[in-house]
Structure 1
Amino acid sequence: MLLADKLYRRNPLEWRKNGAASREAALAQLEAAMINGQPWPPLGGRRDVAALSAALAPDFAGDRVAAFIFACSDTIVTAHGGKRDFYYLDSIDPQHLYNAARNMETALWILNTRRDAAGRPLLLANEIGPETRNLSFEREFGKIIGRLDLLATTMTERYRRAAISYLQGVVAAPLLAFLPVK
């Protein structure tokens, strides 16, 4: 939601495209859709990376900020197995998390480089100029990517340790028997 707020501040015409009365109303509408897992109507039922592609297509006519943020959120939720609540014994496929992190890198690159027919950026985000330097979007995406990578590494380590513990128990159990005292 922080990214959505920042993007709406730099691209105020976008929140007006979905008929919201204010930026705050557009953010509330987007947050409700993400929390409830409802599809975002302008994306035409697309989810995950298909939604990311649609949101960053030059011919997309809807609220690009909401579509982009919704698609990023949906990609991350999909990588978590479609779950939003987790319990101690739940597991996540680390490869899916790793793939989601790479998808976020790709989305950020496209956000920074893709232009419309007139040569303007699809969304104003990062800015590096002679007098100004705004890389706050890069930092926020870096945090998301870092968390996904950390979770993928942690889950990989969890599976590695479980395999090692199992093998140690099978192989070493006969050798670690107690010796007679007398």
Structure 2
Amino acid sequence: MNAKTALLLSFLVVFLTACASAPVPVPLRTEGKKRPPVSSDLKFSSFVKTDIDTVAEIHQQESFSHLRTLMEKLYRRNPREWKKGGQLSMESAIARAFDAGHDWRFPELNGKRGADCFYLAFQENYQGDRVLAFIAGMATMIMASYNEKTELYVLDELDPQKLYNSARNVEIAVWKLSGTRDSRGELFLLSNANDASNRNMSFEREFGKLIAQQDTLARIIAEKTNRTIVRAIQSVASAVFLPI
């Protein structure tokens, strides 16, 4: 039995002992009134989850909320993409991405994750859903920064460098989205519009929120664990995805 398993078992023992020994209040009978339900103030998560774990989970949930919004916005500007996946509607395409237990592994992406999904989204000969590839790239990068977990407990440790790198990778993805063109000079995916007749910068705001979520959590974890984040400075022309 390793140290982490032993520590977790000790938490379980404490929790079960507390549940067994905690007195259950019995409310007095009141004529003509029903006895109110008895509730326990003890929760398993209160023994095995720290405040930082809860904060991290909230940041992750918010990040994926922004990703869902971005996927919808990209589909609205590029409706041909969700149709490539054989979906009946934009809504079903979004639900398939966010509400199904697929671990972000899709047959049309050939098992690719992270940066490889981004490269697939901007390949000239790719015939699949480019929006799905782009969003899956960001989603799997963010999941990697959380060590592929959606629930965090006291024994889980997040790396602030991974969180920081994921934020920089989102920035690089935005640069590629707004600047990568096909052989005809057309953008692979439409996003922000900045012309006089059709100004739409809402994508930029959502990406900004997503980047801020990762950066803020990276700083929180770094200060909590006394770890230093190695900051990267890249130009748009030479930007490469950072490892996570």
TM range (shorter): 0.7 to 0.9
Q: Which residue of 2 aligns with 1:24?
A: 91
Q: Which residue of 2 aligns with 1:165?
A: none
The amino acid across from 1:14 in the alignment is E
Partner of 1:86, secondary structure, is: coil
Counterpart pick for 1:77 among 137, 143, 157: 143
After TM superposition, give the deviation of residue 55 of structure 1 in Å.
1.9
Paired residues in the alignment total 160
Q: Please, what TM-score do these two structures have when normalized by structure 1?
A: 0.82
Counterpart pick for 2:212 among 137, 146, 149: 146
Q: Which residue of 2 aligns with 1:59?
A: 125
Partner of 2:82, secondary structure, is: helix
Q: Please, what TM-score do these two structures have when normalized by structure 2?
A: 0.62
Q: Which residue of 2 aligns with 1:42?
A: 108
After TM superposition, give the deviation of residue 89 of structure 1 in Å.
4.3
**Structure 1 runs not aligned, ≥5 long:** 162-182
Q: Which residue of 2 aligns with 1:7?
A: 74
State percent identity of aligned pairs: 43
Q: What is the rounded CA distance, in whole Å, between the counterparts of 1:38 and 1:148 in structure 2?
A: 19
Is the CA contact (8 Å cut-off) linking 1:14 and 1:63 kept in structure 2? yes
After TM superposition, give the deviation of residue 88 of structure 1 in Å.
4.1
Q: Deviations over 1:41-90 (max 9, x none)?
A: 22111111222222233332200111111111011001111111112442
Partner of 1:2, secondary structure, is: helix
Q: What is the rounded CA distance, in whole Å, between the counterparts of 1:152 and 1:96 in structure 2?
A: 8
**Structure 2 runs not aligned, ≥5 long:** 1-67, 228-244
The amino acid across from 2:219 in the alignment is T
Partner of 1:128, secondary structure, is: strand
Q: Which residue of 2 aligns with 1:178?
A: none
Higher share of residues assigned helix: 1
Q: What is the rounded CA distance, in whole Å, between the counterparts of 1:83 and 1:137 in structure 2?
A: 27
Q: Which residue of 2 aligns with 1:157?
A: 223
The amino acid across from 2:223 in the alignment is E
Q: What is the rounded CA distance, in whole Å, between the counterparts of 2:126 and 2:166 in structure 1?
A: 23
Q: What is the rounded CA distance, in whole Å, between the counterparts of 2:102 and 2:93 in structure 1?
A: 16
Q: Which residue of 2 aligns with 1:134?
A: 200
Answer yes or no: is 1:96 the counterpart of 2:162.
yes
The amino acid across from 1:99 in the alignment is N
The Cα RMSD (Å) is 1.5
Partner of 1:120, secondary structure, is: coil
